Amino acid sequence: MERILADAAPAAVFDSPSPRTDGSAAGAPAPPPRPGRWGDATRVTAEDAYVIYTSGSTGTPKGIVVQHRGIANMLDECVARRAIPPGARYSTCASPGFDAAVLETWTALATGGELVVTPDDRRWHPAGFARWLADERIAHSYIPAAFLPAIAEGLRDGLDLRSMQRAIVAVEPIPRGLLGEIKRALPGLTLINGYGPTEAAVCVSMYEVGEDETGPERTPIGTAIRNTELLVEPTETETDPEAEADADEATAGDAGTAADADGDGNGDGDGGVRGELHIGGVQVGRTLRPERGDRPAFYTRTGSDGTPRPYYRTGDIVRRDREGVLTFLGRVDHMLKVRGYRVEAGDVEHALIEQPGVTQALVLKRPAPDGVYAPGAEQLIAYVIPAPGARIVLGDVHERLRERLPWYAVPHQVVVRDSFPLTAHGKTDRNALLAQTPAPAADVPPSERPDDAHIEPGLLDLWQEVLGGTGVSGGASGTGRTDGTGGTGGTEAGAAGEAEGARA
């Protein structure tokens, strides 16, 4: 609130008094002093629709001004994809501070629809939300990615969602097979995977899901909507010669993801191109306050039509295939460096989702405690959600990961959870996940030590000290085992020291 007041620089604030804990009335907060120069903030105009603040998950929250033209353009695209007759019912469950609420509200009001507010007891209850959609005969809905497994399970159990004509999903990467299952159960549904940062007018690309979608791969985010240009530009990491040299041997994942088989400097082995996504055109907003720094996120360049247009560097890494379809791979700032190697969390998550019984996966890095630098101090943690009724054997998961991934990309821990915590905007709360995950034990309980390994106890203890953990953790849902460097991971420096110690 202080940041919003500072940006708005109001002359006065009017508020109804609220009772203090002692029963007296509290007045409105005093407005901050006006800035010395109005040039520090951008004046809003009649062309501007709203100011929205970024979540701050990648830095300090900043105010973004979005124009009416971008909202109207996005609404035209929705109608072109699937027109819904007037009088249809539209759901709304997103917080007003999240731009998905703009999509929910104006897709209904701009077409003569009825906006139905999700009750609080269903808003963050995936199975309850799915039943509410059926009970209310909703025709259009924005569905958070975290709710989709409950939608699919409900359809398998006979939930009647045939009233649904159009659904837009977004926010998190979604397995193609999950959306394909929903589409096959509801062939009359136009199911769209949308993408767009807060810095643009809700959606800048869309992908229509087909009935033939299968497998654990991420669903593409599709192609640009009308009056929008999407560019895939090399990232700073990929243009740094030293980073490129490291990446040749130190990027985790498929060979097609790590290699540049077509020789374009940032390409994939399948002939596609990967890099940072830049957005241009009417969807791009602007910052409320001027950016500082040598490389602003918002900039102007000549578009494909020869006229200057605004562009925005998203910080999102995507892959564009030969047909021009984009797939979200991860964030520039979510690129992990663990054990001295660069690891792409998305590639590890893909390998996890391919495991039997795993429906969702997330990989994070647990940073070393302040002031600590030692082998194993930084750890790669994987979180998985099993399919209903599935039992995940963590030892088998680690065995398959060692077959699929380089040793340095195998997580120190695999944690089984029933669900992931969510932020107020429906995104996975990464900080909460790490805070809820205890550090691995310093030693391996005797019951989890391999019975047939015939390892000298002193040597096993030395390995555990160097590797910095027990390897896998089942939380409340499973058990783990530690059986070799591939299962627990380590560092080259630590391994070298261990070998020297073993010889001694």
| pLDDT the model gives residue 476 | 37
**What domain count does the chain have?**
2
Domain co-membership, 136 together with 259: yes
Domain co-membership, 146 together with 172: yes
Mean pLDDT of 63-88: 96
The alpha carbon of residue 482 and the mean position of all alpha carbons in its chain are separated, in whole angstroms, by 30
Confirm if 180 and 156 have CB atoms less than 8 A apart: no
Q: Is residue 315 part of a domain?
A: yes
Q: Is residue 289 part of a domain?
A: yes
pLDDT greater than 90 at residue 82: yes
Mean pLDDT of 174-184: 95
pLDDT category at 277 given cuts 50, 70, 90 is: very high
pLDDT greater than 80 at residue 371: no
Q: Is the dihedral of CA 394, 400, 406, 407 positive or negative?
A: positive
pLDDT greater than 70 at residue 410: yes
Domain co-membership, 219 together with 348: no
Mean pLDDT of 257-280: 61
| pLDDT the model gives residue 22 | 59
Q: Is the dihedral of CA 211, 320, 269, 401 positive or negative?
A: negative
pLDDT category at 496 given cuts 50, 70, 90 is: very low
Q: What is the CATH number of the domain that holds 407?
A: 3.30.300.30
pLDDT in tens, 16-55: 766 655 555 555 555 555 544 444 555 778 999 999 988 7
Cα 13 to Cα 31: distance, rounded to the nearest angstrom: 6
Q: Is residue 18 part of a domain?
A: no
What percent of the chain clears pLDDT 90, i.e. is strictly above it? 40
- Domain end call among 284, 313, 331: 331
Which has more confidence, 10 or 223?
Answer: 223
Range of the structural domain that residue 350 is part of? 335-504
Domain co-membership, 423 together with 314: no
Cα 88 to Cα 140: distance, rounded to the nearest angstrom: 8
Q: Is residue 472 part of a domain?
A: yes
Tokens standing for residue 6: 């500072």
pLDDT in tens, 200-225: 999 999 999 999 999 888 899 999 99
Confirm if 107 and 163 have CB atoms less than 8 A apart: no
CA nearest neighbour of 69 among 297, 308, 301, 281? 281
pLDDT greater than 80 at residue 335: no
Contacts 24+ apart (CB under 8 A), 23-30: 29/1, 29/5
The alpha carbon of residue 463 and the mean position of all alpha carbons in its chain are separated, in whole angstroms, by 35
| pLDDT the model gives residue 29 | 56
| pLDDT the model gives residue 369 | 60
| pLDDT the model gives residue 346 | 76
pLDDT category at 469 given cuts 50, 70, 90 is: very low
Which has more confidence, 246 or 466?
Answer: 466
| pLDDT the model gives residue 438 | 78
Poorest-confidence range of 56-65, 99-108, 403-412?
A: 56-65
What percent of the chain clears pLDDT 70, i.e. is strictly above it? 70
CA nearest neighbour of 134 among 185, 177, 77, 69? 185
Letter string b/e over residues 45-73, b meaning 16 or more CB atoms within 10 A of that residue's CB: eeebbbbbebeeeeeeebbbbbbebbbeb
Report the DSSP beta bridge partners of residue 222.
326
pLDDT greater than 80 at residue 93: yes
| pLDDT the model gives residue 322 | 94
CA nearest neighbour of 419 among 63, 125, 158? 125
| pLDDT the model gives residue 27 | 55
CA nearest neighbour of 366 among 436, 462, 418? 436
- Domain end call among 282, 315, 331: 331
Domain co-membership, 423 together with 304: no
With tokens 């809003």, the residue in question is 44
Domain co-membership, 247 together with 106: yes
pLDDT category at 102 given cuts 50, 70, 90 is: very high
Domain co-membership, 359 together with 261: no
pLDDT greater than 50 at residue 253: no
Tokens standing for residue 296: 């602003």
For the chain, the average pLDDT equals 77
Confirm if 29 and 1 have CB atoms less than 8 A apart: yes
Domain co-membership, 257 together with 380: no
| pLDDT the model gives residue 28 | 54
Poorest-confidence range of 48-57, 157-166, 267-276?
A: 267-276
pLDDT greater than 90 at residue 166: yes
Domain co-membership, 207 together with 349: no
Mean pLDDT of 148-155: 95
Q: What is the CATH number of the domain that holds 323?
A: 3.40.50.12780
Mean pLDDT of 433-458: 53
Poorest-confidence range of 277-286, 432-441, 457-466?
A: 457-466
Poorest-confidence range of 262-271, 289-298, 305-314?
A: 262-271
Query: Which residues contact residue 416 at a Cβ distance below 8 angstroms, ignoring those fewer than 6 apart?
Result: 383, 384, 385, 386, 392, 394, 474, 475, 477, 478
Tokens standing for residue 308: 């200057």
Poorest-confidence range of 228-242, 277-291, 314-328?
A: 228-242
Q: Is residue 16 part of a domain?
A: no
Confirm if 382 and 411 have CB atoms less than 8 A apart: yes
Domain co-membership, 283 together with 182: yes
Domain co-membership, 110 together with 192: yes
| pLDDT the model gives residue 457 | 47
